[in-house]
Amino acid sequence: METSKRDNWSETTFLASVAKDLMVRFGKDMTKVAVVFPNKRARLFMNEEFLTLADTPMWAPQYATIGELFGRITGDNVMEPIPAVCTLYNIYKVLMGEKAESLDMFWGWGEIMLSDFDDIDKHLVNADALFLNAKELGDMESLDFLTDNQREALEQFFGSFQTEHRTRLQERFSELWSIMPNLYHQLKDTMPEGTQPYQGALERKAVEDKEMLHLLDDDTMYCFVGFNMLSETEKKLMSYLHGRGKALFYWDFDVMYMENRAFEAGDFIRENLLRFPNALARTGIYNNLRHKGEVTFISTSTDSSATRYIPEWLKEHLTQEERETALVLCDEQQLQPVLHAIPDTETDKVEGSPNNVNITMGYSLTGTPIYSLMLALIVLQTEGWDEGRKRFRFPFLRTVKYHPYSRFLEQEQWEHRIDSSCIPALLEYLLGILTSLAGKMEDENLFDDVLMVESLFQTHRTLRQFLDVATSTQPTLELHPTTLRRLLRRILSGQSIPFHGEPAQGLQVMGVLETRCIDFRNILMLNVGEGFLPKNNADNSLIPYTLRVGFGLTTVRHRIAVFAYYFYRLIQRAEHV
């Protein structure tokens, strides 16, 4: 194979340094090497590094994300979120009886519960100790199984509930808290064989079953590359392999934020290095931020004015090796205007037009025409029917008729009354329209629009999961039509369209999370500011902050430190930011 010429910058990227070290250690036969990344994207760039280094054919290593590695150990799959929440709701209904909320009211709680349970398992927390109630705390003669921090956190938490006149909200929370242990345990007990309700349950099963960990006792060397904050399950897995001499660790950082403890960006790497020594020597690749090159701050009045700057920036900074240039979106909602702003090589024919554009990020379904069409059809069937006149009301018909995607459909396909009280019938109606829409778009050669294709697929996949649950033996979706409308709106609005660019060629359009492990020569970051980096998400959890701190669960402080690391790591080797 022909190797490409490299300059000094290309040779000092993190993945280039890792690839060189692996070739020194293992040569060109890496069939017994497994490279484990935090995400999937980095493996494509790693293969490019091997391609550049090798002058003859070689055996590439095995690749896996950390989640895939845990899955290989247990042989289990993680249940999709929709059936997982529905399964949890069935348990909740039995435990709460007549006090149970409807499914659409419960849905948000269910998602939060699954997230909390996931965090509990990833940090190997004793769920029964965490979910102690106030009476148990007072009655127990011995709390030796609790640490001092945990005991203090529980006492502080329940102290706020020991008032004579508790509010209705406190009463409802107390009722919910009392059934949390049963929800946690019964959810796992009801899973089909080979299935886990969330990723944390799978990881906990893997590290707490020694027989499963022994499955890794072959002659494979596991190389963990580019990690930062580690969960307790990840630490336990890495410690097991490290203790058997079967693991190498490649950490990415800069001495500027590592040596100065005022920078939270280095909090987790400092801890990791004490436990798992770095396989790379501290060479020049770790000392860049103190000698930073060109960093430009651009103030814009609106998001659209920021995207209009893209052609000008690309004209000056698009590299000949296009994959060394990245547009990093801190707000995924800007993907569509960003894609429209990138000049097209064939039509625009201007300097700075990339030959290829590669998208690797998520995009909210709410920003797509498919979402608005599905919503209009649901409202048409659940609210738009005039029972007295036996016809649809004109405002509801008009919303669907003048939707931009309606031109791909025959009017009789959607303008007919179905029994919206029959949940499977409504879902099959929507799925039929999606299938027909996909066929017409394919006939008209419109499937070069990646966003269109991905939004169609994701919506169909979501509704299909609902139909599977609705037609299962458990009558989970016995809902009023209006309730179903609210539920579908909630779930569809929470869906994210995943883009996975293949291969690692062309101008890179990425979210912040997707940049992990990868270095770029030139970077344009959009929407850098409060609320976007990190995202201004509420701390959605049913576990109060004091208990999260006491039991070592993830808190806002952890998330801020993680995103600080992502930011500094991303810019540390770039020539222009």
Query: Using H for helix, E for strand and C for coil, what is the string for 294-354?
Result: ECCCCCCCCHHHHHHCHHHHHHHHCCCCHHHEEEEECCHHHHHHHHHHCCCCCCCCCCCCC
For 32, half-sphere exposure in the C-beta direction (CA atoms, 13 angstrom radius) is: 9
* pLDDT, average across residues 265-277: 96
Q: Distance between CA atoms of 351 and 366, rounded to whole angstroms?
A: 34
Backbone φ, ψ for residue 64 (5° rounding): -160, 145
Give 3-state DSSP helix, strand, coil % of the chain, rounded to 5.
Answer: 55, 10, 35
* pLDDT, average across residues 310-338: 92
Residue 141: its pLDDT value, please?
Answer: 46
Q: Distance between CA atoms of 220 and 27, rounded to whole angstroms?
A: 15
Give the closest residue to 405 by CA, choosing from 367, 450, 374: 374
- Residue 388 vs residues 391, 419, 565: alpha-carbon distances, Å: 8, 16, 62
DSSP-based three-state secondary structure for 91 = helix
Assess whether pLDDT exceeds 50 at residue 140. no
Residue 3: its pLDDT value, please?
Answer: 38
Q: Is 327 left (phi over 0), alpha (psi -120 to 50) or beta?
A: beta
Taking only the tens place, the pLDDT of each residue in 16-25 is 999 999 999 9
Q: How confident is the model at residue 350 (pLDDT cuts 50, 70, 90)?
A: confident
Residue 4: its pLDDT value, please?
Answer: 45
* pLDDT, average across residues 478-498: 78
| pTM: predicted TM-score of the whole model, two decimal places | 0.88
The β-bridge partners of 526 are 329
* pLDDT, average across residues 339-344: 89
What length is written for the chain? 577
Q: Collect all residues with Cβ–Cβ distance below 8 Å to 116 and sequence separation of at least 6.
A: 541, 542, 543
Residue 297: its pLDDT value, please?
Answer: 93
* pLDDT, average across residues 185-191: 95
User: What amino acid is encoded at 463 in this protein?
Assistant: L
Rg of the chain (C-alpha set): 26
- ∠ CA(267), CA(268), CA(271), 5° rounding? 95
